[in-house]
Chains A and B, each alone.
Chain A
Amino acid sequence: MADDWQDIEFGSEIDVSEIMEIIRERIAQKRKEGIYTDEAIAEITESRIMQFAEEAEIDSVLLEKLRSPDHSWNINPSYIIATHRSGVKAKVIILIKKLVRPFIRLYTDHIVGRQAQINQYFAHLIHNLVREITRHQIDNDALKAKLERLEREQEFLEQRLRTFESMTMPEDKSTDQN
C-alpha cells in the first residue's frame, strides 16, 4: 500500500499541514486506483467501524469489547454482585442482592437470553455489511478510475483519428480543384 517519497521536495521551512495534505491526496489517489488487498480492506472496515463508534461517543471499554473476538460485550444475566459501600452495610446489601437475584432471574433470564441472541445477530450482520459496502465502494472507485482512463484513451484515439483525417483532406481538396 505504501511507497517511498523520494520525488517530493521540501523547502527550508516545513509546513506540516501541507505535508498532511499531500499525504491525504496520495491516499485518495490510491483509493481511486483501487490498490487494496483483502487485508487493507479489512483494515479500512475496522477503521470505519471505529470511526462510527467514535462519532456515536460509545464508552471506550464497551468499544474494546465490541472489537474483541469473544462476545463479552453482549448482555448477560450473570452480573457480578457488588456495592461501592464498605463495612457491614456493604455485606448486608450484597447478601440481600444475592437473595433477591434468583427470583428476578426467573422472570428475566429468557428475555435477556433472547435479546443477547438478537444483539449478536445484528452485530454480525452490521459488521459484514460495513465490510461489503467498503469492498463495493473500493470496487466502485476502481471502476470509476478505469472508466476515466478509458474515456481519456477514447478521446485520444478520436483526436488521432481527426488528425489522420485532416492529414488526408488536403490531398482530396487538390484533387477536387484539378
Chain B
Amino acid sequence: MFRNYLITAWRNIIKNGIFSIINIFGLAIGLMSCILIMLFVQNETGFDTWLKDNDRIARMHTSYSIPGQEPFSTVRSAGSMMEAIRDYAKNEIDSGVRFIQWGTTVRQNGNAFSETISMVDGNFFDIFDLPFLHGSKESSFKKPMDLVITEDQAIKYFGKTDVVGETLTFCCFEGREIPLPITGVVKKLPDATHLGINMIVYLQPALFGENDGTLHTWTSLNVYTYFKMNPGISLEQLQERVTYWMDNESPLVDMLKDILGDTANDKSVSDLVQQRVMLVPDLHLHAKKHAGNMGDLTPMGDDNMINTFIVVAGLVLLIACINFMNLSTAKASKRAREVAMRKVLGASRTQVAIQFLGEAIALVMLSLLFALVAVEIALPFYNDVLGTNLKLNLFNDLNLLFSLVGIAVAVGIGAGLYPALYLSRFLPGHILKSSKGAESSSSTKLRTVLVVFQFSTSIVLVIATLVVYGQTVFSNSMDVGYQSDNKMVLNIDSAGDNLESLKLELLKLPEVNAVSFSSESPTQDWENNNNFKLLESIEEGVANQALLFNIHNMGYGFFEDYGVKPIAGRLFDEDYGSDKIVRIEEGNEDKVGRASAILNVTALKKFGFKNAEQAVGKTLETNTAGGIHHLTIVGVIPDIYFRSIKYGVRASVYTFSPGRFRVANISFSSNDIPSLITKVERVWKNSVPMQPINLQFLSEMMTAQYSDEMTMAQLFLVFSGLAIIIACLGLYGLSAFTVERRTKEIGIRKVMGADIIDIVRLLIWQFSKPVVIANLIAWPIAAYMMLTWLEAFPYRINAIWLIPICLGVGLLSLIIAWTTVGGNAARVARKNPINALKYE
C-alpha cells in the first residue's frame, strides 16, 4: 500500500508540473530562510553554554539612579565589591573573580602590537574552567604575573602552541617595560562567548595603589565581577542577598548619606545604586538591559533583533505553507475521482487522510533537500553581512539535524492537514455520479482568506523594511553638526610625551591641513560624566546644585577643524592662555584651579539659561584633575552628535584637560589616500617608536555606527523580498488554476462577444480584490508597528512618510499581482473558445 501511495505521490508531483514546482520552490525558500535564521539564532542564544557550570556563574552589573543626575548603567562594578560580597554571602557564593581589562602594547622582534590583557584574580581558572593545551590550571597560575595566553595568540607571536617558558614583553607598567613568562596555553575560545579575552595575567594587587580607583574603590566602576554560586542556589537567592547587603551592610549606606544629605533619608541604597546579577549564558543577549549602551568584553547581541528574525522566519515559512494549502485544495477536484475510487475500494477516511498527509510531508522533505543546498550556497554571503562564522554541520550536530527534520514534519503536517482532511471528506457516490468537480464555495473562500493573509503579511514586511531602511538612511544623512569630510582619527594613547612633536611632524605633510587633540573624536563616546555646579544664581535656573553632565576634552582648534561655530562667546583660544585645566598637585588640595568651559545647547537648557549670551561668563564648579576647579563658561556651541543619533544628544560640557587627550584629529586634503596613510604611518613611526599605529577614517567610523541597523535593514530586505516572491508564486499558481477552472466560463463569455481585454480584466480584477484587501489590512498594522519602532529614535523620519510608503507598496503589490496573473489570463483569453465548450 505504501508503495502505491508513493507511486501516486510521485506521479502527482510530475503531473502537476508547474504547481509542484511552485510548491517545492516556495517551501524550499521558506525552509532556507528558516534554517539561515535558525543558525543565527542558535549561535546568538548559545553563547557561553559551553562553559562548565555556566548555570552557576553570574556577573554583577551596576546602575546608578541618583536624583538630579542622569541614570548610568554599566556591566562593570566597583573594585572592592567582589571581596566584600563574597565574604558576606558565604552561603550563596562559592567564589568570586574580578577582571581588569588593560590596553597595552606587546613588543616582539622589533614589532609592536596593541593587545588587551585581562588581569584576573588567581582563582580565575577555578571559575572559568578553560581547557589547557599546555600547562594546567594548577601549574600555570600559581603566582601573581603568571601569564596564560590562548592558542591563537601563541601562534601569532611564536608560530607554535607549545610556548610555555617563552616571554612576552609588555609596555608599560608604571613607565617600565615588563617581560612576562608564559606559564600556560589554553585552547582558542569558541566564537560564541562574551569572554573576549586572550591574554590572562594573574592579578598583582600591588600594582594598584590604595586609592587607585580600580581595585580599592566603592564607587569607581572599572572591574568586571563574576561570582560562582554554590550548587543549588538560584540567581534570585543571590540577587536577594546582594541587595540585602547593599541596603544594610555595605559602606554605601553611609557614603550615600554623606553625599546626598537629606535627599537620601527615606531611600534605601538599592533605590539609588543597584547591583544586579545575571547568569553568564544570558550576558550576550540580555546584558544590554542592565547596562544600556555601554560596551562589554565583546560586542553585545540584540535580543529584539533575534526575536524579530524568529518572527520573520516563521512568517516566510507560513506563507510557503499557505501556498501548499491553497494549491492542494485548489487541485483537489482533480483528485476527487482518485479519492472516490479508493473509498469505493474500501479505504477509510483516515487512510486517505494519512495518504495525503504523507504526500505533503514527502514534498516538504524534498523541499528540505533543496533548502539545504540553498543554505550552503547562501551561507558565505550571509556570514559576510552578519559578520559571523556560521556553519551548517548537519552530521556533527545531531540536534540540528533532528530539529530540521522535526520542522519539516511539522511544516508537512501544518501545510498538509487541511488539504488532507478536505480531500478525504469527498463522498464517493456524489463524486462519481456527477461529472462536476468537487469544488465547494467554502474552500474557495478559505483560499481567498489565505491569499489575503499572505499578502497582508508580505506587505507588512515590505513596509517595515522600507521604514527601517529609510530611518537608517535618514540617520546616516542627518546633519550631525560638524564637518566630517576628510578627517582621520589617530589614537594617541601610547604616544606619551611625543604629542607636540607628532603634531609638528604631521603638519609638515603637505596633505595635512590641521591637527587637533581631544579626548574622543566624533562617533566615539567613552561615557565620561562629571558633576558640575553653577555658582551664580540665575532666574529659573538650577544654581548651586551638582548636576551630572557628559564631559569631553578638546584641544585648541578642535571645533574649528570640525567647522563648529560658537553661537555665543568664543572657542578655546591659545591667545587667552586661561583655558587649560592645570592639575592640582598633591598637598595643594585646598587651592581652587581656574580654567574655561564650553557648553552645548542641551547643557545650556539643563542649567536653565534663557539664552546663550546669558551663560557666557558664568562659573561652573567641578572636581577634576586633583581637586576643585572653577570653570568660566567662555562659549556655547550648537548640539553636535558625537554618538549615533539614535541615542540623541546629551547635555555636554567641553573642557580643555590635556591629560585626557586620547586622539589626534587630522584634517587633510588629498585624493591619494594610500600614500597619505603611508606618510602618516612614517611620521608615527619616527615620533612614537615601538608603538603600533591605530588610524581610522572618520567617514568609516560614522558608517560603522549604523552598521547594526544597516545589517538589519539588509537582511529584512532579503527576507521580505523572499516572502513576496513566495506569495507571488502562490498567486501565480492560483491564477493558473483558476484560469483552468474557468476555461468554460471564459469560453462562453468569448462566444457572447467578450474581447481578450474583457477577459484579462475580469481575471485581473478577481485577483486584485484580495491584494487590495490585504493592503487595507496591512497598512494600519504596519503603520502602528513602525511608529512604535521609530519611537526609540530621538530623531526619526516624519510619520507622514508612511503614507507614500504604504501607497507605493500597495501599488507595487498590485502591479506584481497583475503581472503574475496577466500572463495566465492573456494566454487563456487568446484560446479558441470552442475548445473549451466542446467537451464536458
The answer to whether A binds B is no
